Amino acid sequence: MPRKGEDGRWVWIGLLGAELWFSLYWVITQAVRWKSVFRCTFKDRLSQRYKNELPEVDIFVCTANFKIEPPIMVVNTVLSVMAYDYLPEKLSVYLSDDGGSDLTFYALLEASKFAKHWIPYCKKFNVEPRSPAAYFASKSNLDHSHHNEVWVDIKILIDGKDPNAKDIDGCALPGLVYLAREKRPQHPHHFKAGAMNALIRVSSKISNGPIILNLDCDMYSNNSLSIQDALCFFMDKEKSHDIAFVQYPQHFGNLTKNDYIATHYELVSMRDALCGRKFTKDCKFEWKKDDDHKTPKSILELEEETKPLASYTYEENTQWGKEMGLRYGCPVEDVITGLSIQCRGWKSVYFNPERKAFIGIAPTTLPQTLVQQRRWAEGDFQILFCKYSPLWYAHGKISLGLQFGYCLYCLWAPISLPVLYYAIIPSFYLLKGVSLFPQVSSPWFLPFAYVISTQYIYNLAEFLWSGGTILGWWYEQRMWLYKRTSSYFFAFIDTILKMVGFTDSTFVVTAKFIDEDVLKRYEKEIMEFGYSSPMLTVLATLAMLNLFCFVGVVNKVIMNGSIFRLCKTMPLQTLLCSALVLINLPLYQGLFLRNDKGKLPSSLALKSFVVALLACTSFTLLC
């Protein structure tokens, strides 16, 4: 530690604070490794024991904007769950369309027509997956020309509909309900949480299944027996009494070989410490406790009876969003709802079957990933200060490990501050020639070298053990830095501004539509930027700042011939700055070398160049 009056004393204290924060966060992250549980189900025993006494299931699919969530993708998801290998008369599918799109509604009508052919075909030939688009995209299924032509007809939306509710084999079809709830600008609609609560109310008057399957419109079913898997837990005579929901991990069908945007969370998704609560978009089964006696009613009667339940005024002066349904006031409504359920004594089950239950669409561009991560980090950070905070409300109600598990994600936003400190300050002082870390000759150098080397060796080994590649691990490190210095930092600022009353929370839907040029670059693992944004500006400026510091140090070494002295006195700072420059190579390419539409805009390149140059020059002259 520099003595009083020496250069870098206060900066060193700042680094000490950052190290203490990293140490605390590392302890918290170990919660997801305390307990590994691998489960298996025996669906044949379930069928033998209950046969036709299995419960009814209501399936909720949510969409919000037909422009970024194409109707063809939505109906693929709907068809995949309608074709479950489950009693059709006990299956009801509800589509919530918050955009109120005529195109989505019309696509659903045509999908219901196609279902009369598709469902018996799937069950007859035991088709997997049961999403038509995913099935016909498979190379092994290209010879089914007749059904492929029918699917092409669906994609272009042929006019006409058939009111018959049976398939071509005369078997009953699952119930299919379209819901576009009433929304008014002057009344809060609470985004997806509001849509889910409207679905719960409407379904309680139509089918009222005791079990709910909730999934996003981009998460098609990949396993026709997923319901039976969940029922094995819900109907277990010994342990089912306190199980609130069964959660499947997130899997994506469009990942590249090395997953260069790092959207796959296989490391943590193979752990059970969080009781399945990991991603904001996971699919989960949840009990619906109100099970009123149902009496047969006509379609018109049901429509009139359920319309008020989806009106914008229904929830006024009620407990919906507070004590009933999904909780309001947080961008990650499923996380806070799951936490509140567990605090009431319920438990959850994480289940990762050998055949993936659901397949989704991962973001294909860096801006999409950053926006998604920003919303998640903002929502998780807000939970830390809300009524259901895992720090105080959950204390004594859930296990300490589960508290740590929730805190792991609630602290995403504030961890951006020490990461930013490390990404800026050591490089500045390297440029100035001031050492902030122990020299090679110091006995304190060994602890630093040991911690750094073991951490990265363990991290790489765990990544490879989970099925990743060395290049994929390197991409993971890059996205680790990008998310913490942009998404999490802006989430931290947004939350603080919301707490003092300057802004309100927003819900940004991640685009699911992929341009052909973007897709080609994505498959080649070329990072897609495309447009200017504050988060990309921060990333580009940090990249340029470290590049200037690195070039400045290299210039000094060449001019003075002092490379040995540099390696002896400031090895860790040199290594850190070099690693930051190397990890930012895609940004440099996007700023200066690429000419395609996915590069960074020239205006952003100029802005980041000027700001970084001024910062380095000012620090060198004034500090």
Q: Which residues are annotated as a binding site for UDP-alpha-D-glucose?
A: 69, 98
Q: In angstroms, rounded to a whole number, what is the distance separating the alpha carbons of residues 211 and 500?
A: 40
Structure tokens at 160: 């006409």
Instruction: Give me the phi and psi of 595, to 5 degrees please.
Output: -120, 0
Longest Cα separation, the chain: 90
The H or E element that residue 450 is part of is: helix 445-465
Q: Are 381 and 414 in contact (CB under 8 A)?
A: yes
Q: Are 581 and 521 in contact (CB under 8 A)?
A: no
Instruction: Give me the phi and psi of 110, to 5 degrees please.
Output: -70, -35
Which residue, 418, 371, 324, 389, is CA-closest to 529?
Answer: 371
Catalytic residue among 97, 218, 272, 334: 334
The H or E element that residue 49 is part of is: helix 43-50
Q: Which residues pair with 285 in a beta bridge?
A: 213, 246
Structure tokens at 423: 């990404």
Q: In angstroms, rounded to a whole number, what is the distance separating the alpha carbons of residues 27 and 50?
A: 45
The H or E element that residue 354 is part of is: none
Cα torsion 403, 406, 409, 410: sign: negative
334 is catalytic: yes
Q: Assign residue 396 a region: left if phi > 0, alpha if psi is -120 to 50, beta otherwise?
A: left
Q: In angstroms, rounded to a whole number, what is the distance separating the alpha carbons of residues 269 and 462?
A: 13
Q: Per residue, what are the HEC states of 386-418?
A: CCCCCCCCCECCECHHHHHHHHHHHCCCCCHHH
Q: In angstroms, rounded to a whole number, what is the distance separating the alpha carbons of residues 426 and 431?
A: 9
Which residue, 205, 210, 181, is CA-closest to 195?
Answer: 181
The H or E element that residue 347 is part of is: strand 347-350
Catalytic residue among 58, 97, 98, 259: 98
Q: In angstroms, rounded to a whole number, what is the distance separating the alpha carbons of residues 92 and 545?
A: 56
Beta strands in 5-128 (DSSP E): 57-63, 91-97
Distance of CA 155 to the CA centre of its chain: 28
Q: Assign residue 583 a region: left if phi > 0, alpha if psi is -120 to 50, beta otherwise?
A: alpha
Q: In angstroms, rounded to a whole number, what is the distance separating the alpha carbons of residues 303 and 202?
A: 9
Q: In angstroms, rounded to a whole number, what is the distance separating the alpha carbons of residues 281 and 284?
A: 9
Q: Are 102 and 180 in contact (CB under 8 A)?
A: no
Binding residues for Mn(2+), as ranges, are 192, 216
Non-local CB neighbours of 463 within 8 Å, separated by 6+ positions: 267, 472, 473, 476
Which residue, 85, 87, 78, is CA-closest to 59?
Answer: 78
Q: Residue 129: is the preceding peptide bond cis (ω within 30°)? A: yes
Q: Is 7 exposed, middle or buried (0-12, 13-18, 19+ CB in 10 A)?
A: middle
Cα torsion 100, 104, 108, 110: sign: positive
Active site residues: 98, 334
